[in-house]
């Protein structure tokens, strides 16, 4: 079977995520990944063309998961403020569970800025997130929970940017215990200003 093969590939991907998170893309060597995964270089280059290929694989998985989560939120039949509240409520959870892989986010960003291949793989999903939120705000306006004079696209853009900014701040701040709560409050501060009444 090729079950064994899939397993090896999984180990490599997992190891790569760990290494990239810990030391960054550039500073991580292929040998290091192999050692962490417990496989040989031959195995690595059998499954992936290059170091970048693993990185892209990682990126795609991350983006797909993010979009899935987002769409799950969107399709619920709930008022927008409630949705955002839930979302922010899950910030701390995100941090606690996937906190180790969070530095990867920065790594993705920086590589995307430099490498056109990574860029095009990252920018499209990113735009889609903005569109999803814009759609949410539109619904919010039509359902009367958001002020009518708000530009839904601008609001979406702002919200996403704020989230990104808060994420970066969370990276720097060692006080991760409070990060989720504080971030939720920040988002609420923004959203409160958009709410009607």
Query: In 75-115, which residue ranges form alpha helices assigned H by DSSP?
Result: 80-89, 91-98, 102-114
Task: Say whether residue 116 binds DNA (CB under 7 A).
Answer: no
- Return the residues of window 160-179 that contact its own copies according to CB under 8 A: 160-166, 168-169, 171-172
DSSP, collapsed to helix, strand or coil, labels residue 146 as strand
How far apart CA 51 and CA 23 sit, in angstroms, is: 14
- The answer to whether the CB of 67 falls within 8 A of the CB of 166 is no
x/- mask, DNA, residues 45-84, rule CB under 7 A, reads xxx-xxxx--------------------------------
- Tell me the HSE value of 169 on the side-chain side, using a 13 A CA sphere: 12
Site for its own copies in 57-116 (CB under 8 A): 103, 106-107, 109-110, 112-114
H or E element, residue 60? helix 51-74
Angle between helices 116-142 and 51-74 (to 10 degrees): 0
User: Comparing C-alpha atoms, which of 182, 196, 67 is closest to residue 141?
Assistant: 196
> Which residue lies nearer to DNA by CB, 9 or 63?
9
The reply on whether position 136 binds its own copies by CB under 8 A is: no
Question: Is residue 35 at the binding interface for its own copies, with CB under 8 A as the rule?
Answer: no
Complex with DNA: residue 28 or 152, whichever CB lies closer: 28
| Site of interaction with DNA (CB under 7 A) | 1-2, 4-5, 7-9, 28-32, 39-47, 49-52
| Site of interaction with its own copies (CB under 8 A) | 23-27, 103, 106-107, 109-110, 112-114, 119, 122-123, 126, 150-151, 154-155, 157-158, 160-166, 168-169, 171-172, 182, 185-186, 189-190, 192-194
């Amino acid at each position: 079977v090729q079950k064994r093969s899939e397993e090896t590939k999984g180990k490599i991907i997992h190891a790569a995520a760990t290494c990239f998170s810990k030391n960054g893309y550039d500073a991580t060597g292929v040998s290091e990944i192999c050692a962490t995964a417990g496989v040989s270089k031959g195995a690595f280059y059998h499954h992936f063309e290059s170091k970048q290929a693993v990185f892209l694989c990682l990126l795609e998985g991350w983006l797909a998961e993010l979009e899935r989560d987002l769409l799950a939120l969107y399709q619920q039949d709930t008022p927008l403020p409630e949705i955002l509240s839930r979302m922010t409520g899950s910030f701390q959870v995100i941090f606690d569970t996937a906190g180790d892989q969070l530095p990867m986010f920065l790594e993705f960003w920086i590589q995307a800025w430099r490498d056109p291949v990574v860029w095009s793989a990252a920018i499209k999903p990113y735009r889609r997130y903005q569109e999803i939120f814009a759609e949410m705000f539109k619904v919010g306006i039509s359902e009367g929970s958001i002020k009518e004079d708000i530009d839904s696209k601008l609001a979406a853009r702002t919200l996403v940017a704020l989230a990104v900014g808060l994420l970066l701040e969370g990276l720097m701040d060692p006080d991760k215990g409070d990060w989720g709560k504080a971030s939720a409050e920040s988002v609420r501060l923004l959203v409160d200003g958009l709410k009607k009444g």
